[in-house]
Amino acid sequence: MNQPTHSKILLVQQAINGQKTAFDQLTSQYYNYCLFSAQKYIKNPETAKDLVQESLLQAYLNISKLQNPNSFQAWLAGIVRHQCLNHLRRQKQPHLPIEALIEADILTDVSDEAHEQPLTITTNEALQQLTDKHRLLLKRFYYDDYSIKEIAEQDNSSVNTTKVRLHRARKALESVMLESIIITPTIPIATVSIETAKTNYMAAA
């Protein structure tokens, strides 16, 4: 991730202090970055754009809570990721990027603070750090689309035993992925509906 320039840090500080024009400039500068980040998870271009707008609105409403201006890009990326993963969990649509589905599934129960931070490791990289047994089990379940029953039959095992093994493999992957998250000293964003965010954002215009 590129280091922010002095001018960008100044804009972030001004936005933290409540200057909407500064935040508008940040929105213009970081929009394409946010869209690129969203498209890692969301295939539909219009949906990705909508989620970026939600993310920017959430950032606008909560930027006063950002404690370190140098962390703005990482903080913003975390908000985009958080919005996209929530969308994936709600929709459960077929034909979504498999890595995004795994991430949404594996990181379902982690804290909001962790969700709001960027991962420094890809799903595939995390899988490579697992034991062969865990990695192959997860690949069969997620990539090869075998059901738990089919995996149990292949392994001459019971369904319950396979469920336990899959749970352990998921927890192992979750551990690797969480270790890659850089927690920056920010206060977690508030959960605000898109309707409320739009109203507040327009009122400040």
> What is the pLDDT, as a whole number, of residue 183?
44
Closest of 98, 97, 8, 109 to residue 47, by C-alpha: 97
How far is the C-alpha of 194 from the C-alpha of 161, rounded, in Å? Answer: 43
Residue ranges of the chain that CATH labels 1.10.10.10: 123-178
> What is the pLDDT, as a whole number, of residue 191?
40
| CATH number assigned to the domain with residue range 6-97+183-203, chosen from the 4 options 3.40.50.10540, 1.10.1740.10, 3.10.180.10, 1.10.443.10 | 1.10.1740.10
DSSP state letters, 104-125 = HHHTTTS-HHHHTS--SS-HHH
Q: List the chain pLDDT tens, one digit each, 205 residues.
A: 455 678 888 999 999 999 999 999 999 999 999 998 888 888 889 999 999 999 999 999 999 888 888 889 888 988 888 888 778 777 755 445 556 666 666 655 444 444 445 556 677 888 889 999 998 998 888 777 788 899 999 999 999 999 999 889 888 888 887 776 544 443 343 444 444 444 544 554 4
> What is the pLDDT, as a whole number, of residue 110?
46
For the record, the structure tokens of 5 come out as: 């320039």
Contact between 184 and 74 under an 8 Å Cβ cutoff? The reply is yes
Residue ranges of the chain that CATH labels 1.10.1740.10: 6-97+183-203
> What is the pLDDT, as a whole number, of residue 97?
58
Domain 123-178 has CATH 1.10.10.10: yes
